[in-house]
A and B are shown apart, each in its own frame.
Chain A
Amino acid sequence: ILNVEQSPQSLHVQEGDSTNFTCSFPSSNFYALHWYRWETAKSPEALFVMTLNGDEKKKGRISATLNTKEGYSYLYIKGSQPEDSATYLCALYNAGNMLTFGGGTRLMVKP
């Protein structure tokens, strides 16, 4: 059973703060790491799919990095806005054709 862990579990920040959270995963048999943003009552939305060690991806104020050798990925949000409030999920995709999810980081941005 693959163990994908995310920290912190929840995070409260003020509008304008920059923040980051961590996803750690087993580094063997790595295929891809997915990040999803999930707002309550909506579909989880794919943010990034990262496949190569050293990958850095960016979408607006959100970016992510990947280290497959040590088994971690960071998600950064620059200048958090209230609309960034959501649960951020990472998931490991392996050759077994399934995603193994972490527990998520619940971000709340206060205006």
Chain B
Amino acid sequence: EPEVTQTPSHQVTQMGQEVILRCVPISNHLYFYWYRQILGQKVEFLVSFYNNEISEKSEIFDDQFSVERPDGSNFTLKIRSTKLEDSAMYFCASRYRTPSSGANVLTFGAGSRLTVL
């Protein structure tokens, strides 16, 4: 079964460093997302991406964050200057439309755990 893959599975970085998290969505999906979960908190929406541009973003997704689809397969999340509070599990997801119901099911990757020291 097709899956969304994310790398790295765990990254430890120093505060102020740039981090790039990578995702390979399912090939025929059209919409891509980043979510995150800070330990002990709810999973939060960061950004959605369609047709090579951001379609929605949350308040969390400030100027320190950016997303790209550089080569038509990878979908990346960059954090320019990491802060302690960026420590979280970051999930990539991609979306298709189920033929029967029309509902928009998201397929998630296993996550990249970011630890900022």
Contact = CB atoms under 8 A, between A and B. Distances in A.
Given A42-B110, A43-B110, A97-B55, A89 B43 contact: yes
Q: Give the interface centre of A36, A43, A91, A100 by most chain B CB atoms within 10 Å.
A: A43
Contacts of B3: 43
B4 A96 contact: no
Contacts of B111: 43
A103 interface: yes
A54 to B, nearest CB: 15
Nearest to B41: A103
B42 A43 contact: no
A98 B48 contact: yes
B107 interface: yes
A46 B101 CA distance: 14
A98 B33 contact: yes
Contact of A97 (B43, B44, B56, B102): B56
Interface residues on B, range: 20 to 34
Interface residues on A, range: 20 to 34
B98 A49 contact: yes
Contact of B43 (A46, A50, A51, A101): A101
A91 B91 CA distance: 15
Interface in A21-46: 32, 34, 36, 41-46
A101 B106 CA distance: 13
Contacts of B55: 97
Interface of A: 4, 32, 34, 36, 41-46, 49-51, 89, 91, 93, 96-104
